Structure 1
Amino acid sequence: MKIKPKYPNTEDVKFKLSFQSRKILEHYSDYTGLTPSQVLEEVLPHLLKDDDFIKYVETKRSNKRMKLELGISDVQN
């Protein structure tokens, strides 16, 4: 049996976070037993449920590319 990575296509990224945000991430990570990166991977997709964000994407001129990048594309190839 092969084990596949849960989060493929990852890359190292640097962020500047406030003290409070870092502590939330640190403590939530400890609580869940996930790494901070895994916590972000789990939480960030929920931003796609923000109707105002989706409306913003719809108003962008190059939204086909954006939609593909965000995984919300309804474009058929």
Structure 2
Amino acid sequence: YRNVIPLPHEIVMVDGNSFVVEKDTRILYPEDNVLLERNAQFLAGYIKEATGRRLKVESGQDVNDKNMII
């Protein structure tokens, strides 16, 4: 996980399936948080460069098994 930029504050390992980045995966950040919005945009760019997938970056807290929330 040390290759993840920015370095996560916390990583929690759980039993079960791995997280899969799919075409409808979104990166969510708290509304009105400019710093985390910038980090979310950075992560989206990093993922696009590594995988070719352009993920949507939006404010919100839609917790489901397809979204990344920062």
Give the TM-score, by structure 2 length: 0.31
Which structure has the larger Rg?
Answer: 1
Whichever structure has more helix as a proportion of its residues is 1
Whichever structure has more strand as a proportion of its residues is 2
Give the TM-score, by structure 1 length: 0.29
Higher RCO, 1 vs 2 (CA within 8 Å, ≥6 residues apart): 2
